[in-house]
Structure 1
Amino acid sequence: MAAMTVSAPTRQLCGSTFADDDVPEALAVLALYDGPERERVHRALVRLSGGRLDRLRDWLEEAKRRPETVLWFGEEPTDVSPETHAFGVEWINAFIDKHLDAPPQQPA
């Protein structure tokens, strides 16, 4: 499967979100998403990552399964208050971060 290109506006968003050294890898990760609503999902992924490549990769996996979830968290939904939405994003990112730091589970 060929990697999809990333638009100029999304490249600019990456440049303002990620450290300079991380931008090329962030763009490479984004290029792996070829599902529906590509531009919107790319922007949502960058926002949700908070400039962290590990989060970007985790959110990409979610986008491949359920792009509508990434769009809900990465944009401004109208079905909840901004405060509730912000809490949800912070909670999910904390969950992702905790999962990344957890040691691998040993088989029982």
Structure 2
Amino acid sequence: MTALGRQVWALTIPALAWTVHFIAVYALISAACAPRDLIDMPMLVFLGAGITLICGVIALWPAIRPPSEDGLRWAVRLGAIIFLLAILAEALPLFYSSSCGG
């Protein structure tokens, strides 16, 4: 892979991790709040914490091990941190809501 290809992947991986986390969190909330109660609230918190941890590590990985080229290293690190913060903010409804009702 070329140097530019590695940099593009390093910029893209945090965005993909955030996208997967976004879909997973709202799928879990929908499953917990469905009329049939597909999962209960403790399982929602457990699965939500797991997916948040996994996606957070994946999003932060390019910041920990950026491409060796200096071209976009700063952008890779900043992008990874921004997407990590987005993942953490998106997980807040999982931990601060105890029921599905308003």
TM-score by length of 2: 0.32
Which structure dedicates a bigger proportion of its chain to helix?
2
Work out which structure has the larger RCO, using CA pairs closer than 8 Å and 6 or more positions apart in sequence: 2
Q: Determine which structure has more spread, i.e. the larger CA radius of gyration.
A: 2
